[in-house]
Amino acid sequence: MNTDDKISKYLKDLPNWSSKITIKNLLQYTSGLPKVAWDTYFGKNERITDQKLNNDLLKLTELEFKPGSDYLYTNYSPILLGQIVAAVSRQPFPKYVKENLFKPFGLDNAQLLSEVPVLNRDLMAIPFDENLKEDAHKATITGVIFRLTAKDIYNWLTHLHAFNIISKESVQFLSEEADFWGNIQAPLGGVTWKNGIIKEHYHHGEAGNYECILKRFNNGKDVLTIIVQANQKRQNMFDISDEIKSILKF
């Protein structure tokens, strides 16, 4: 398996455009695939399912741009990457993640949920807006709804930076941004290396009113990890994490 492989090698049922997209394109969001039509489905109060997303891909006749020529963040990338992992490992993606990523690296409370709104409301914070209205998004999707505690994320980062999960070369590869201007992230977010050491690493994400940022700093002597999670999005994760770093004088 090579990151330059075309995804058609592993996903046989997709249209002809799959023979133009590489695994690397999916990782770097340079595939030319469009954004998932979340707003269209949610606007109609429809539940999004694996089948609906697959049908949308099967109906797709043209990509947004030639693969590798531009950047567009789309959730189709992790969805298809998960399907490739399932095809190669010959087991469901959630099972692979649990056995090979969660258990070995101490992500004791991590889960791959099957749907939102969550069924067990005691296990995680419920997202709501500034008017205290709960998110009404409905989805049943395989392998993309992760539930992680701050401790889970910390354990994951610690092992990732120690190159226990994947090799140093692989982490460096996943730190590479596509070579375009604009709001571009590497597969791992933003990673700064110096003399073979990760000096800074940040990653920000949001879904509905959920929002999270992680930052990890290594000054050569000490390591500082900051993880901020929220269930009411205020677009202030960077400000909060910067203030924490300032208070700690790191």
pLDDT in tens, 10-51: 999 999 999 999 999 999 999 999 999 998 998 898 999 999
Mean pLDDT of 48-55: 95
Tokens at 63, concatenated: 């990509």
Q: The whole model's pTM is what? A: 0.91
pLDDT over 90 at 174, yes or no: yes
Which carries the bigger pLDDT value, residue 65 or residue 183? 65
Residues paired with 190 in a beta bridge: 202
- pLDDT tens for 88-133 read 999 999 999 999 999 999 999 999 988 888 877 777 899 999 999 9
Mean residue pLDDT across the chain: 94
E-assigned strand segments in the chain = 48-49, 111-116, 139-147, 190-194, 197-207, 210-218, 223-230
Mean per-residue pLDDT, 168-175: 97
Q: Assess contact for 226 and 214: CB atoms under 8 A.
A: yes
